[in-house]
Structure 1
Amino acid sequence: MKLIIKKIFFTLPLLSLAIALFAQQPEQILKASGSPANPKVPMSWNRYNDYAAITEVCKKLAKAYPDLVKVESMGKSFMGKEMWVMTISDFKTGDPSKKPAMYIDGNIHSNEIQGSEFALYTAWYLAESFADTKHIQELLADKTFYIAPTINPDARDNFIHAANNANSPRSGMIPVDNDRDGSINEDGYDDLDGDGHIVFMRRKNPNGRFIADQDDPRRMISVGVDQQGEYELLGYEGIDNDGDGDVNEDGEGFYDPNRDWAWNWQPNYIQSGAYKYPFSLPENRSIADFVMKHPNIAAGQSYHNNGGMILRGPGALEDLDTYNAQDVQVYDALGNKGEELIPGYKYLVVYKDLYSVFGGELDWFYGGRGIYTFSNELWTNFLMYNKAGDSNSQATQYSFDRNLLFNDAFVNWKAFKHHQYGDIEIGGFKKSFGRLHPGFLLESDAHRNMSFTLYHAYHTPKLSVEEISEKDLGGGLKEVTAVIANKRLMPTHSSQDLKYKIEVPDMISLTGPKVIAGMIVNNRDLNITSEQKNDAENIRVPNIPGNSTVTVRWIIQNAGKYSVKVDSKKGGIASRSN
């Protein structure tokens, strides 16, 4: 036994050496433009990670880049999983909580799992590209990213590890009796053949309304009114456990986490999917608490699927007045850029271009917190052949699977003896296809969507004390004028923020000399000012508009060395001395 242990102990260093010899060395690689060549945390972005794998990646990034990444929990899910959020910034250039911040999350719905990969890719890319990409260095010097890869971890693991289909209920794991018969989840998904896929059931029936497509027999197509069918479709694979004629009507519980937010919330009889009351779900409550504790969050992004859309609110027509003209201009500039960065995606308004949503995350972030927020619906059929306007998307899916995925996305029809329906066949697309990216397209779309969020974050406020000038007034008094510039698109307070006074005003302070008076300069040419009679040293400015300036002035005594400092919750800190 001792001899065996010694051999193993002796062999381990040799094994490590062998791995190192066969690993790619920096001198063997030509760095592809825009991609990390030798990441400290190697990743393959052509697959989907479960909760344990996401946890591992978050912790590895924090360990590999302690000056850039910190990981913490926002709270616990219904089933007790930690809800990880990464703080990503250049910690050496200042307190991350004092920099303008971008919040990103994904996977609020159980079957919309690629949002986690897109969020995780962003965190990984920022950390791994920092060393040799100047733009990322400058971005993390100025900004902070809060990235929560999955905000529905219970349902994510259920979707990945349990038998499901692409359209499985979008909810979390809190039990719900959807048909109100007193039994909870009695008609869950039944994986009839145990292959891990919930696909469709069909049965031969001359009175059915479907036939097999001659060009691709896997595909079922409907017949005309004067044609005879061959099959009837029986819905998704399963059993009518309660004998009411419906299969799978009580899945893992149906509530919609994106109908639980405290802005224009409506009960379930008005907004289907709403739970008990706003923030009744523990996951959403944890996110809200995190956002409230981080007033530096100026921009937001959530990831859903599918349809290739860059969405902004309002979610409902009743909330149209919330999004006023000034803020819509900011949204339009960002959204139109998103269309350029992500081919095949369209910039749309939820209520106008889709349907009404009450109690959505998108509207709470903007309406409740004044944060410019988008929700991207990931994946579009455009990406299959880089063509728009395909009138037969179902046929495109079949040809794409056949030509580029080599039939890997489809479970071929096979006979099965169903104890209720008799002789049937089961088959169809797997849960990983239809709403989710195929592996080879996952990283490409993740990178493009990330580029949109980096552009959004770049245009959060960037403040500087652009000018300090003095004028001698005589009698030992001087007039000090400071010009504060915001060099980005986004103001320090959105119009919604100003309307409801969500965040405190920006503070512009003069320290050093004795301050006799302080004022905002409304018109420098005409010398029109508004005096702040109390606390003259610290001038409170309601807003510093995007791509604009604000001018303030003090009358001081005993001038010497002094400093002007700007402190803005969403705009960060800037200072300058004379």
Structure 2
Amino acid sequence: MTLKFNLFTLGIGICMGSSALAQDYSTYSQFNQRVTSLAAANSSMVNIQSLTKTTGGKDIWMITIGTGNTGQKPGIAIVGGVEGSHLLGAELALGFAEKLVKGAATDSIRALLAKTTFYVFPNMSPDAGEQYFAKLRYARNGNARSTDDDRDGKVNEDGFEDLDGDGRITWMRVEDPTGKYRVNPEDPRSLVLANPAKGETGKYLLFSEGIDNDKDGQFNEDGEGGIQFNKNMSFNYPNFQPGAGEFAVSENENRALLDRLFELSNVFAVVTFGPNNNLSAPVVFSPAGISKRIITGYFEPDTKINALVSDVYNKQTGSRDAPKTSPGGGDFSQWAYFHYGRFSFSTPGWWVPKSKPDTTAKEKPLLIEDAVPNYLRWAKSQGITGTYKEWTKINHPDFPGKVVEVGGIDPFALINPPYKLVDGLVTKHTGFLVALAKMAPQLDIVNIETEKAGDNLTRITLTVMNKGAIASQTKVGERSYWVKKIAVKVITTNSQNVVSGRKNQVLDAIEGYGNQTLSWLVQGSGNLSIEAGSPTTGSKKIEITLK
């Protein structure tokens, strides 16, 4: 059973009272204050801009961090808040910006900012994220746009109801012989799917807490929370799915981010703090994915870069025991590779550690793959309370005469750590992003040779070298107009003529620490210039004296 499935079966709720998820995560107004304060106190290296406002009237911020001409240096885009319920993603993105700027007091970070630009888009789902702080709280990923998710001609007509009056939305289980769920034998607080092949029978139907307002047999299928940023992108767009929008990139925040990224031709890598994970566990090369007209798999050289960066990530963060994740359609991190053509790395930043059985309590190792018992054991060992709602009987108008119970675990707890852990996670991920920036492609021209090749002729030979660990561009990017290749130009005077070799040419990707040797035969005398560069590698220019 995957983590995604467990999140569905466990229940949606918000921790209350003495929970480890105390409201230390930033509200929208607090978040804005942090962004504006960062810029005001560090104007020499920080620039902020509101790219647009969401349907709900909230700013989508872009933070540019660097010194000198920021657009002329290799850049990294960091994107947080791709899903509103993942509060940690926004905290990691903005926390990185704050720690990086604070670190500029050191020589190493000052030098890094002199040759690398960081573009931070800290929260792409501010409408949805505010639901965490609302009077009625539930995990939400859609923005403030009203939608007709069940396509019955009405909008937002079947939302959540707080049936037990505790201010949060969890799940409800209904005893029914046709149910597909059974109590987890390893922990009765959890439900798992029954497996008929093993002789297992179900006992419960499972629904989100609420009432079937429009009497269509579904619960809460058309409530507030419209279009999801992370389902509205153009790659593998999930047509007609709730939360995806009427068409790809329909929302202000999606369109504004993509427009700006296409303008930022110097970005060589995108790091997403979201549910997908190709950092603790890199992608695997699949020939079938690149043999189609529409490419759906990573090119092999790009998987090698992913593996290299993954190794750095795991060393920097101490990452282990990551849950399996499967990218969904219309998500941002896949778009960043397949449609933007950049190296795309994604991580949730945190997941519930694998718990060990408490031998003093005679606990046994967990054998059934289910996130709930693992979390509850870990939470107990950490002294975390208030993140689980015991199943409680209620009277439900849609199920007269049946036993209906409301309860389950808080999904914020499964994907967002106790806030006391956030600063340490920000520190680790800042270290990773700094290490990634130091791996950036960097162009140089070496092994320059000139020799007299005849009367008034000079043979010029040189090597264009990538001094960085990461390739100058992705292999998928070689097919895109928007990813600029390395351009090499021989700049002559009127009295000079390139007899052999291309005066202007572009080079395909040069792998990390790789090189390409070029040669020209030039007629004439005096000096000429040769320049090589691209937005993602920087440029190098040399002067040559003809023999």
Q: Same fold (TM over 0.5)?
A: yes
Give the structure 1 partner of residue 15 of structure 2. Answer: none
Deviation at 1:453, TM superposition (A): 3.3
Deviation at 1:54, TM superposition (A): 1.8
**Quick one: structure 1 residues 141 and 213, their matched pair in 2 at CA, closer, same or farther if it must change by over 3 Å?**
same
C-alpha separation in 1, matches of 2:480 and 2:182: 59
Deviation at 1:105, TM superposition (A): 0.7
For residue 416 of structure 2, the aligned residue among 411, 418, 436 is 436
**Quick one: structure 1 residues 146 and 207, their matched pair in 2 at CA, closer, same or farther if it must change by over 3 Å?**
closer
Aligned ranges for residues 195-206 of structure 1 at < 5 Å? 195-201=166-172
Aligned partner of 2:265: which letter?
P
Give the structure 1 partner of residue 101 of structure 2. Answer: 127
Deviation at 1:86, TM superposition (A): 0.6
On the 8 A contact 1:299/1:457 being kept in 2, the answer is: no
Deviation at 1:179, TM superposition (A): 2.7
**Quick one: structure 1 residues 442 and 285, their matched pair in 2 at CA, closer, same or farther if it must change by over 3 Å?**
same
Aligned partner of 2:526: which letter?
A
The yes-or-no answer on 1:73 pairing with 2:53 is no
C-alpha separation in 2, matches of 1:558 and 1:418: 93
**Quick one: structure 1 residues 244 and 358, their matched pair in 2 at CA, closer, same or farther if it must change by over 3 Å?**
closer
Give the structure 2 partner of residue 506 of structure 1. Answer: 486
For residue 559 of structure 1, the aligned residue among 509, 512, 526 is 526
Aligned partner of 1:545: which letter?
E
Aligned partner of 1:409: which letter?
T
On the 8 A contact 2:162/2:210 being kept in 1, the answer is: yes
TM-score, with normalisation over the residues of structure 2?
0.78
**Quick one: structure 1 residues 566 and 280, their matched pair in 2 at CA, closer, same or farther if it must change by over 3 Å?**
same
On the 8 A contact 1:416/1:426 being kept in 2, the answer is: yes
TM-score, with normalisation over the residues of structure 1?
0.74
Aligned partner of 1:452: which letter?
F
**Quick one: structure 1 residues 362 and 138, their matched pair in 2 at CA, closer, same or farther if it must change by over 3 Å?**
same
On the 8 A contact 2:131/2:138 being kept in 1, the answer is: no
Aligned partner of 2:538: which letter?
G
C-alpha separation in 1, matches of 2:165 and 2:452: 87
C-alpha separation in 2, matches of 1:390 and 1:261: 38
Aligned partner of 2:422: which letter?
L
Deviation at 1:85, TM superposition (A): 0.9
The yes-or-no answer on 1:328 pairing with 2:303 is yes
Aligned length: 507
Deviation at 1:386, TM superposition (A): 12
Give the structure 2 partner of residue 339 of structure 1. Answer: 314
For residue 139 of structure 1, the aligned residue among 101, 112, 136 is 112
For residue 281 of structure 1, the aligned residue among 243, 247, 251 is 251
C-alpha separation in 1, matches of 2:254 and 2:212: 33
Percent identity at matched positions? 25
C-alpha separation in 1, matches of 2:193 and 2:474: 51
On the 8 A contact 1:155/1:173 being kept in 2, the answer is: yes
Deviation at 1:576, TM superposition (A): 4.5
C-alpha separation in 2, matches of 1:147 and 1:126: 11
* 2:105 aligned counterpart, secondary structure: coil
Deviation at 1:97, TM superposition (A): 0.7
**Quick one: structure 1 residues 97 and 425, their matched pair in 2 at CA, closer, same or farther if it must change by over 3 Å?**
same
C-alpha separation in 1, matches of 2:175 and 2:536: 63
**Quick one: structure 1 residues 344 and 503, their matched pair in 2 at CA, closer, same or farther if it must change by over 3 Å?**
closer
Task: Describe the superposition over 1:51-88 as per-residue Cα deviations: whole angstroms up to 9, x where unpaired.
Answer: 22222111111112122211112222222322101111
* 1:449 aligned counterpart, secondary structure: helix
The yes-or-no answer on 1:399 pairing with 2:377 is yes
Deviation at 1:412, TM superposition (A): 5.4
C-alpha separation in 1, matches of 2:257 and 2:393: 47
Higher relative contact order (CA 8 A, sep 6+): 2
Task: Describe the superposition over 1:437-492 as per-residue Cα deviations: whole angstroms up to 9, x where unpaired.
Answer: 12233233333334333333332211223344433456565444443321112222
* 1:432 aligned counterpart, secondary structure: helix
* 1:298 aligned counterpart, secondary structure: strand
C-alpha separation in 2, matches of 1:208 and 1:483: 68
Give the structure 1 partner of residue 9 of structure 2. Answer: none
C-alpha separation in 1, matches of 2:374 and 2:332: 33
**Quick one: structure 1 residues 548 and 159, their matched pair in 2 at CA, closer, same or farther if it must change by over 3 Å?**
same
C-alpha separation in 2, matches of 1:175 and 1:517: 65
Aligned partner of 2:158: which letter?
D
C-alpha separation in 1, matches of 2:533 and 2:284: 29
C-alpha separation in 1, matches of 2:357 and 2:466: 39
Structure 1 segments unaligned to the other structure (5+ residues): 1-44, 520-529
Give the structure 2 partner of residue 165 of structure 1. Answer: 138
Deviation at 1:332, TM superposition (A): 2.3
The yes-or-no answer on 1:259 pairing with 2:226 is no
Aligned partner of 1:171: which letter?
G
Aligned partner of 1:451: which letter?
G
On the 8 A contact 1:313/1:363 being kept in 2, the answer is: no
On the 8 A contact 1:198/1:430 being kept in 2, the answer is: no
Aligned ranges for residues 511-550 of structure 1 at < 5 Å? 516-518=496-498, 531-532=501-502, 536=503, 539-550=505-516
On the 8 A contact 2:475/2:509 being kept in 1, the answer is: no
Deviation at 1:433, TM superposition (A): 1.2
Give the structure 2 partner of residue 573 of structure 1. Answer: 539
Deviation at 1:148, TM superposition (A): 0.5
Task: Describe the superposition over 1:245-304 as per-residue Cα deviations: whole angstroms up to 9, x where unpaired.
Answer: 443222324554333322343522xx6653222212221111110111111111011121
Task: Describe the superposition over 1:493-543 as per-residue Cα deviations: whole angstroms up to 9, x where unpaired.
Answer: 322222344434323345586673458xxxxxxxxxx612xxx3x554444
Structure 2 segments unaligned to the other structure (5+ residues): 1-21, 359-364
**Quick one: structure 1 residues 390 and 217, their matched pair in 2 at CA, closer, same or farther if it must change by over 3 Å?**
closer
On the 8 A contact 1:517/1:531 being kept in 2, the answer is: no
**Quick one: structure 1 residues 386 and 550, their matched pair in 2 at CA, closer, same or farther if it must change by over 3 Å?**
farther
C-alpha separation in 2, matches of 1:473 and 1:328: 44
* 1:79 aligned counterpart, secondary structure: coil
**Worse-matched range after superposition: 57-66 or 486-495:** 486-495
* 2:463 aligned counterpart, secondary structure: strand
Task: Describe the superposition over 1:85-122 as per-residue Cα deviations: whole angstroms up to 9, x where unpaired.
Answer: 11111x1xx31111111111122222122110111121
Deviation at 1:374, TM superposition (A): 1.8
Larger Rg over CA atoms:
1
Deviation at 1:415, TM superposition (A): 6.9
Aligned ranges for residues 97-496 of structure 1 at < 5 Å? 97-132=71-106, 134=108, 136-166=109-139, 168=140, 170-192=141-163, 194-201=165-172, 235-253=207-225, 255-268=227-240, 273-305=243-275, 310=281, 312=283, 323-345=298-320, 355=326, 357-382=328-353, 391=367, 393-411=371-389, 426-473=406-453, 478-496=458-476
* 1:465 aligned counterpart, secondary structure: strand
**Quick one: structure 1 residues 240 and 482, their matched pair in 2 at CA, closer, same or farther if it must change by over 3 Å?**
same
Task: Describe the superposition over 1:320-373 as per-residue Cα deviations: whole angstroms up to 9, x where unpaired.
Answer: 56522222222222224333434444789xxxx755744332332222222010
On the 8 A contact 1:339/1:346 being kept in 2, the answer is: no
**Quick one: structure 1 residues 405 and 181, their matched pair in 2 at CA, closer, same or farther if it must change by over 3 Å?**
farther
Give the structure 1 partner of residue 11 of structure 2. Answer: none
